[in-house]
Structure 1
Amino acid sequence: MPELARRFTTVTAEAEVTGDPWLSRPRVLGDHAAPVAVLLRAEVRGIEDADGRRVRTRTPVLLIVDADVPAPEERAVGLRRAAPPSAGAGGNRPDGRAAWLALVPSTRLQVGGRLAPALTGGDRTAAVLRVRVRPKPRIVAGPNGPQRLAARLRAGLREATEGLPGDARALLPGLVVGDTSRITPELDHAFQETDLAHTLAVSGSNLTILLALLIGPPGLARQAERRGLAPRLGLSLRATALFAGALTLGFVVVCRPDPSVLRAAACGAVALLALATGRRRSLVPALATAVLLLVLYDPWLARSYGFLLSVLATGALLLLAPGWSEALRRCRVPPQPAEALAAAAAAQAVCAPVVAVLSARVSLVAVPCNLLAEVAVAPATVLGFAALATAPVLMPAAKALAWCASWPAGWIAGIARTGSALPGAGVDWPGSWAGALALAMVTVAVVLAGRRLVRHPWWCGVLGVLLVLLVTRPAPLTRVITGWPPPDWRFAMCDVGQGDATVLAAGEGAGVVVDAGPDPALVDQCLRQLGITRVPLLVLTHFHADHVAGLPGVLRGRSVAAIETTGFAEPADQAEFVRREAAARHIPVTTAAAGEERRTGPLTWRVLWPPPRDRPPSTGMRVPQAVPPPWPGGAGFEPDGPNDASVALLVRTGGLRLLLLGDLEPPAQQALLRSSSAAGLAGVDVLKVAHHGSAYQDPELIRLAAPRVALVSVGAGNPYGHPAPGTVAALRTGGAVVLRTDRDGPLAVTGTGGGNGSVHVTRGN
């Protein structure tokens, strides 16, 4: 298989699906969003190349199914799909993507496509198979009985949670059975930032909670006065053990018997056994035995970071947490909080070096976020599993249970969002094994110092206050220490890579945002550093992905009064994305047109471009029924593409005159020079250079604007050569100071402007 992949051979393959399908992450490539595909892990059982040579094999591959691939035909008798995960239909066939997402593990497929090498060496995937439209994919055998039952239960849970609030609807299936199909990239980022990502996957704690519900407090498991459901049902110890075994087996089937679930079941059982017997140290050999058996079952686990983290966390609970809990109790911490704090701190201390290798980041809020979330994990899990079991027989009761579970699930999501929104939620760290070793040494030093400091409450209080200040980073204190942003800033250009995101100061905590960049996390971080909590207006100059894909980051935790866009609704998928995000938050969307003037706080601005449409532009704040229709050709100008339909603004603030040109190219720039607005463009203080400083600029417009400062938003090492040397030279020849985000980082403009005034630009850190 790898040899065929190296030759990019076209083959016909029979493959068995081994995991739940999922959608690829949205990515921005240049100015457009990469198409989202369905991904499936499968095992190829037979393959035929173009020469007719057939080979029987058992080789793991990754299937990539693009949006235009039709749904697989069902030719086997008695095939039934589970209800698809929450995903819209895609491609030319409205049922294609949903049908692929609904495939159940153990389903046999026959597909044609082209093989390609796996992206990373040493991975458990031998090759990548991109499925083609021809020959048409078909199902040759349906899933086995246990997988059909598991799919029915999982589909019932999805149906029961359908009417819940957004975060609970997305999170509850993940907490219960590891179904993350509804988790948005924004919510996933919040869980990653707070080290709560383990709650989105099935872990040993899920099984431990269920078994504890059955047998009661683990310490009483072998005693006559044991609690839980088993003694109330009259079950003997032997019957309880058998029932617990059946429960564990059902857990594995429903949550899919892949290695990660088997790992969770084994490690969760070991942790429960340790608590039940009270002989934690003697059970380290039991943990080692479980690890050995799992690695023998699936040798690829030896290369799995997830497996390593699970083993480390379980080992920390067995070896470190008891001693730390005892030390906290000696310092008069109540027993239950002491155990919870010791468990969270021990797991974080041991796992943090490995997490740093994966994310090049260390979370400073992981322990408190895990402590706060832990109180809700058990009720959410128990109620979620109750809804799962009830859904096939009594859906109204399942929906009621899911509604009850939505409260703790919403609490967990709220903790993740709140923690990740803190300015100092994490610090960057070298993402290498040398960095992991350094972090391990720092952790040991902190633990040793903590053993001494715990005896001095005053020092603990002082360090606690300093940690809170480091995490919250109050804007006045941060400004004094770092100098960013300057206290009287008027205009800021965020460093969002190859894209645009700028902010105009509109009062305390308020800013008019112009474009959102390609990455929600980067624009959100920039706005947090600037202290922006309220956005009177968000202007999206045009619908290219490098200007609008970061929209969720602008909306995250901020009130946005309105969104203004261009009337040229192309690319259509990004225009629809903006409309959908705005509608979900009930934000009105209006269309900009030349001649429109507005004011908010110290800001006034005039729309210079695009020209008026055939019908007068809307100046109110009513929500249109949809994104504006394609350009009707107003004012005799027909744009050649989205760039030439960009919204361009002339802004006045504090004496400064700023010209923001979006991504206008020479045809639109020349038309702007011929318009009635041209006279007001002469001698601006600041120019936001069009189209990331590309070579496509009209020299006459640069000469007329004659900016004192020219700012270029551009990504480091971009493949387009932005900014073009000729454009930079033309700006400097006209007397402009040229600054660019790829070299200078985020930029903030202050000053009074005008002939006798001054303009200052501060570089961010």
Structure 2
Amino acid sequence: MNGSDVLADAGRRLGAAEPRQALPDDLRLVPPALAAWAAAALALGAPGRWVVAGSVLCACTGLGLLAVSGVLARHAPRGRAGPAVPPGAEAASPVGDDPVGADSESSPVPAPASPGDRARRAGPAVPPAGPPRPAGSHRRRGPRLTAAAAALLCAAAGATVAGLHGADTRRGPVPGLAESYERVEAEVTVTSDARQTRPRVRGDHSTPVSLLLDAEVDQLTGPDGTVTRLRTPVLVMVAPGAAAARWQQLLPSTGLRISGRLTPPRHEAERVAAVLGTDADEPPRVIREPSLLQRVAGRLRSGLREATDGLDTDERALLPGLVVGDTSRVPPDLHDAFKATDLTHLLAVSGANLSILLFLLIGPPGTALRSERRGLAPRLGISLRMTALTGGAVALAFVIVCRPEPSVLRAAACGLITLLAIGTGRRRSLIPALAAAVLLLVLYDPWLARSYGFLLSVLATGALLTLAPRWSDALQRHGVPARLAEVLAAAGAAQAVCAPVVVVLASRVSLVAIPCNLLAEFAVAPATVLGFAALAVAPVSLPVAEVLAHVAGLPVGWIASVARTGAALPGAELDWPGG
């Protein structure tokens, strides 16, 4: 394809029969996003004075580069760059010596001037005052300086936000009391669902399963009776006991009064200031009921669990996890099988869940602005503007039901990138949207900068936007059908960029990850759609929700079979040296 074809394709309207975006990817927002990400990750574990010094240095340097860029822009030559004309010299006309607009009747066919005549009329050559300056040098240096300034300013912002969050976590009496292992009484607000620990050792020497809840301490009563009002994040660890089921039913935003012992977190620069250990022999002491939104979300999630009670063990465990990330029923052996086949991303809330719903509503990317729109929206008579608003409402409901935790916010951001693609049909807008989402999420919650889940999500999304289309085109050129090429390229690209991170995280390499992901991919969409349908119908009609859950159990059972079969293959995974 030559240059004219590229420009023709790029200028074609999206409503055309076969719209294409042939322009190169827009990567201008990528360096600022990466700079903020790296600065936040470094600042979370650095001393405060170094964070302040680094932030000030980056900000001052960035502002200086902006000033220089402004000076270059003011002194840049106006108009199109061309050869310099000496003073007093006149540019020769391309045909003859007649000026533009001269009367051509007296000379219908002007005679071309000879080289000697043109030289005499132009006058003596004026030597240049110095070495020739490349044309457009100001235009090239200005944007480069602006891009560098934007990256430095975003790095300063990321370091500043991370430093403030880290200082807020270490502020107050909780870290000091945790270093002394003191017993306290605290009023806390639950900020997550209860989750079970997974012991690394099995058999007679395995540790008992405990419950973990994220919470914020609102009021602390120390060993000497001192009462302090504060907002400090802690991790509540509930030892096994008779009332464990009551602790598992707690919803986020619930207020509790807890008596227990504070201990330091396992690693430095963590999101929590301490671990508050208690036991489940007594039921939790609730001092404040959860909010209305969390009660609605909890009712929807419990309705989905009730609808799946009649399914087999694997289906009953996997369907809530696939739909809303509820893995409370997943047994350890099934979880290990998903880890061995690199299918654990199906058990966590991801942007794929929301993308499937938006795809069902709007249709494939690139068709939203066509007269032959696809999806449910045109069949229901919904206009394009109302379709976009409906997609936003679906994303908001997704966040509420799946909890507004960092992983869910990350999934919503990645899903909204897909919404942008479906609404505009422009592939070039996806990478800037991904970079903007990374930048905003890191500034909102800098702890994501050190999250393996966040890194894997961004890498997988970036691979699907950059590598997968190119690999799919290469496969199609070699005779692979289009749909199969897209699936193969997506699975291969995501696995290629995520494998190094998984090796560092889990100290292993899965040799069956790509075929298992390919086999499971075909069942994810129907299971997700049917699972969300059961989730929505359960509060209204539980029998209908049970029917939908039984139908969804077929693709979910296939996914479980793929995981167990792949994990049982000889040499399914190889150990990798840790450290």
TM-score higher than 0.5 here?
yes
Deviation at 1:23, TM superposition (A): 2.0
Listed one character per residue, the Cα deviations across residues 73-105 of structure 1 (whole Å, up to 9, x for unaligned) are xxxxxxxxxxxxxxxxxx3xxxx1111000001
CA distance in 2, matches of 1:197, 1:333: 29
CA distance in 2, matches of 1:114, 1:18: 20
Query: Are residues 1:47 and 2:220 paired?
Result: yes
Counterpart position of 2:414: 267
Q: Which amino acid aligns with 1:195?
A: D
Counterpart position of 2:297: 150
Residue 278 and residue 430 in structure 1: after superposition, are their counterparts in 2 closer, same or farther (change >3 A)?
Answer: farther
SS at match of 1:25: coil
Deviation at 1:429, TM superposition (A): 2.2
Deviation at 1:66, TM superposition (A): 1.9
Listed one character per residue, the Cα deviations across residues 677-726 of structure 1 (whole Å, up to 9, x for unaligned) are xxxxxxxxxxxxxxxxxxxxxxxxxxxxxxxxxxxxxxxxxxxxxxxxxx
SS at match of 2:410: helix
SS at match of 2:366: helix
**Contact 2:366/2:421 (CA < 8 Å) preserved in 1?**
no
CA distance in 1, matches of 2:473, 2:284: 60
Counterpart position of 1:171: 318
Counterpart position of 2:480: 333
Residue 135 and residue 7 in structure 1: after superposition, are their counterparts in 2 closer, same or farther (change >3 A)?
Answer: farther
**Contact 1:316/1:347 (CA < 8 Å) preserved in 2?**
yes
Query: Are residues 1:230 and 2:403 paired?
Result: no
**Contact 2:364/2:422 (CA < 8 Å) preserved in 1?**
no
Deviation at 1:161, TM superposition (A): 0.2
Query: Are residues 1:25 and 2:198 paired?
Result: yes
Q: Which amino acid aligns with 2:529?
A: V
Residue 264 and residue 193 in structure 1: after superposition, are their counterparts in 2 closer, same or farther (change >3 A)?
Answer: same
Q: Which amino acid aligns with 1:14?
A: E
Work out which of the two has the higher radius of gyration on C-alpha atoms and give 1 or 2.
2
Deviation at 1:271, TM superposition (A): 3.4
Query: Are residues 1:189 and 2:362 paired?
Result: no
Counterpart position of 1:384: 531
Counterpart position of 2:367: 220
Query: Are residues 1:394 and 2:394 paired?
Result: no
SS at match of 1:218: coil
Q: Which amino acid aligns with 1:169?
A: R
Q: Which amino acid aligns with 1:49?
A: G
Residue 26 and residue 238 in structure 1: after superposition, are their counterparts in 2 closer, same or farther (change >3 A)?
Answer: same
Query: Are residues 1:345 and 2:496 paired?
Result: no
CA distance in 2, matches of 1:27, 1:338: 39
Counterpart position of 2:564: 417
CA distance in 2, matches of 1:55, 1:245: 41
Q: How does 1:68-217 map to 2 (within 5 A)?
A: 68=241, 91=242, 96-131=243-278, 137-217=284-364
CA distance in 2, matches of 1:413, 1:133: 32
CA distance in 2, matches of 1:163, 1:63: 33
**Contact 2:239/2:280 (CA < 8 Å) preserved in 1?**
no
Listed one character per residue, the Cα deviations across residues 479-507 of structure 1 (whole Å, up to 9, x for unaligned) are xxxxxxxxxxxxxxxxxxxxxxxxxxxxx
**Contact 1:108/1:142 (CA < 8 Å) preserved in 2?**
yes
Query: Are residues 1:320 and 2:467 paired?
Result: yes
Deviation at 1:193, TM superposition (A): 0.6
Deviation at 1:404, TM superposition (A): 0.2
Counterpart position of 1:10: 183
Q: How does 1:527-546 map to 2 (within 5 A)?
A: none
Residue 135 and residue 366 in structure 1: after superposition, are their counterparts in 2 closer, same or farther (change >3 A)?
Answer: closer
Counterpart position of 2:94: none
Query: Are residues 1:305 and 2:482 paired?
Result: no
Deviation at 1:45, TM superposition (A): 1.3
CA distance in 1, matches of 2:509, 2:363: 36
Counterpart position of 1:700: none
CA distance in 1, matches of 2:443, 2:501: 23
**Contact 1:112/1:135 (CA < 8 Å) preserved in 2?**
no
Query: Are residues 1:38 and 2:211 paired?
Result: yes
**Contact 2:217/2:233 (CA < 8 Å) preserved in 1?**
yes
Deviation at 1:303, TM superposition (A): 0.6
Counterpart position of 1:357: 504
Name stretches of at least 5 consecutive residues in structure 2 with no aligned partner: 1-173
CA distance in 2, matches of 1:9, 1:188: 36
Deviation at 1:27, TM superposition (A): 5.5
SS at match of 1:104: coil
Q: How does 1:555-566 map to 2 (within 5 A)?
A: none
Listed one character per residue, the Cα deviations across residues 311-336 of structure 1 (whole Å, up to 9, x for unaligned) are 01111111111100000000010000
Q: Which amino acid aligns with 1:118?
A: P
SS at match of 1:103: coil
Deviation at 1:273, TM superposition (A): 2.7
Residue 365 and residue 134 in structure 1: after superposition, are their counterparts in 2 closer, same or farther (change >3 A)?
Answer: closer
Listed one character per residue, the Cα deviations across residues 384-429 of structure 1 (whole Å, up to 9, x for unaligned) are 0000000001011000000000000000011111111111212222
**Contact 2:367/2:422 (CA < 8 Å) preserved in 1?**
no
**Contact 1:281/1:319 (CA < 8 Å) preserved in 2?**
no
Q: Which amino acid aligns with 2:209?
A: V
Listed one character per residue, the Cα deviations across residues 53-79 of structure 1 (whole Å, up to 9, x for unaligned) are 1212211111111234xxxxxxxxxxx
Listed one character per residue, the Cα deviations across residues 520-547 of structure 1 (whole Å, up to 9, x for unaligned) are xxxxxxxxxxxxxxxxxxxxxxxxxxxx
CA distance in 1, matches of 2:204, 2:547: 45
Q: Which one has a larger percent strand, Structure 1 or Structure 2?
A: 1
Q: Which amino acid aligns with 1:150?
A: A
Listed one character per residue, the Cα deviations across residues 589-609 of structure 1 (whole Å, up to 9, x for unaligned) are xxxxxxxxxxxxxxxxxxxxx
Q: Which amino acid aligns with 1:2?
A: P
CA distance in 1, matches of 2:279, 2:244: 14
Deviation at 1:119, TM superposition (A): 1.2
Deviation at 1:137, TM superposition (A): 4.5
Residue 129 and residue 186 in structure 1: after superposition, are their counterparts in 2 closer, same or farther (change >3 A)?
Answer: same
CA distance in 2, matches of 1:355, 1:272: 28
Q: Which amino acid aligns with 1:60?
A: P
Deviation at 1:30, TM superposition (A): 9.1
Deviation at 1:136, TM superposition (A): 7.8
Question: Which is bigger in relative contact order (C-alpha 8 A, separation at least 6)?
Answer: 2
**Contact 1:43/1:58 (CA < 8 Å) preserved in 2?**
yes
Listed one character per residue, the Cα deviations across residues 438-457 of structure 1 (whole Å, up to 9, x for unaligned) are xxxxxxxxxxxxxxxxxxxx
Listed one character per residue, the Cα deviations across residues 164-212 of structure 1 (whole Å, up to 9, x for unaligned) are 0111110000000000001111000011111100000110000000011
Query: Are residues 1:66 and 2:239 paired?
Result: yes
Residue 315 and residue 390 in structure 1: after superposition, are their counterparts in 2 closer, same or farther (change >3 A)?
Answer: same
**Contact 2:183/2:259 (CA < 8 Å) preserved in 1?**
yes
CA distance in 2, matches of 1:27, 1:335: 43
Kindly, what percent of the aligned residue pairs are identical? 65
CA distance in 2, matches of 1:388, 1:145: 18
Deviation at 1:46, TM superposition (A): 1.4
CA distance in 1, matches of 2:353, 2:282: 43
Query: Are residues 1:57 and 2:230 paired?
Result: yes
Q: Which amino acid aligns with 1:224?
A: S
Deviation at 1:222, TM superposition (A): 2.1
CA distance in 2, matches of 1:118, 1:152: 33
Residue 216 and residue 262 in structure 1: after superposition, are their counterparts in 2 closer, same or farther (change >3 A)?
Answer: same
**Contact 1:17/1:105 (CA < 8 Å) preserved in 2?**
yes
Residue 133 and residue 368 in structure 1: after superposition, are their counterparts in 2 closer, same or farther (change >3 A)?
Answer: closer
Listed one character per residue, the Cα deviations across residues 222-256 of structure 1 (whole Å, up to 9, x for unaligned) are 22211111111110001111111111100010011
Deviation at 1:143, TM superposition (A): 0.6
Residue 30 and residue 262 in structure 1: after superposition, are their counterparts in 2 closer, same or farther (change >3 A)?
Answer: closer
When the two structures are superposed, what TM-score results if normalisation uses the length of structure 2? 0.68
Q: Which amino acid aligns with 1:46?
A: Q
Residue 28 and residue 35 in structure 1: after superposition, are their counterparts in 2 closer, same or farther (change >3 A)?
Answer: same
Deviation at 1:275, TM superposition (A): 5.6
Q: How does 1:241-260 map to 2 (within 5 A)?
A: 241-260=388-407
Counterpart position of 2:518: 371
When the two structures are superposed, what TM-score results if normalisation uses the length of structure 1? 0.52
Residue 135 and residue 399 in structure 1: after superposition, are their counterparts in 2 closer, same or farther (change >3 A)?
Answer: closer
